Amino acid sequence: MSTSGPVSATQSYHHGNLRQALIDAAVEMLEQGENFSLRAVARWAGVSQTAPYRHFPDRSKLESAVAAHGFRALGEELFAGREAPSRPEDLPDFAVGYVRFAVERPRMFRLMFGSECDDENDERVQAAGALQAALTDRLRGIYPGADVGDLAVGLWGTAHGLAFLHLDGKFPAEPADQRDGRVRAAVAAVLGLAG
């Protein structure tokens, strides 16, 4: 993947996985503030303008694949390389990581949640479901034997609301440690851990 913009017409772009190269190009464009279309992504990746149609019949399918990429990245941020939470006091860190991801990658975050989730075969829907399943599994470790489905939805909803409150400027701009402290305190209060 290019890190400095589109591949020029004189450069040869070879890869073993065209689909992934197109997704990577779209992610890079998105995060650099560029709007992407199938043609723009093809130019960015250095392939013919018809090449993306082999994998994505329209922009919405490419957008879904990019959003799925975002959900996987968010899951890695939240769960990969971390010890599973073992007590309720560990749960506010989930929300801190969630809000941090949203603030650091706002265009990706908005794309991830910018469409309805009504097609269970959609990549975005499947990736969101995997993230929710990972959270639910972590909660089962803290509350063995309990029905943690509602708690997973509540914790995700709280983190999601806090993320958008920060993205939409409803809280003042502040250093990351202060933002993290506010998120941690809010989630602890919702879970009844404050005090």
The residues spanned by each domain of the chain are 1-57, 59-190
DSSP 6: P
For 112-135, the pLDDT digits (tens) are 998 776 677 789 999 999 999 999
Report the predicted TM-score, pTM, of the whole model to 2 decimal places: 0.86
pLDDT at 55: 92
pLDDT at 163: 97
For residue 42, what are the contacts with CB-CB under 8 A and spacing of at least 6? Answer: 22, 48, 49, 50, 51, 52
Closest CA to 79 of 124, 137, 126: 137
132-156 burial: b if 16+ Cβ within 10 Å, else e? eebbbebbbebeeeeebeebbeebb
pLDDT at 11: 41
Report the C-alpha gap between 148 and 129 in whole angstroms.
15
Query: Which of the following CATH numbers is that of domain 59-190: 1.10.357.10, 3.40.50.720, 3.40.50.80, 3.30.70.2190?
Result: 1.10.357.10
pLDDT at 166: 95
pLDDT at 122: 83
pLDDT at 17: 87
At the second CATH level, the architecture of 1-57 is Orthogonal Bundle (1.10)
Low-confidence ranges of the chain (pLDDT < 50): 1-4, 7-13
What's the sign of the alpha-carbon dihedral 12, 53, 25, 5? positive
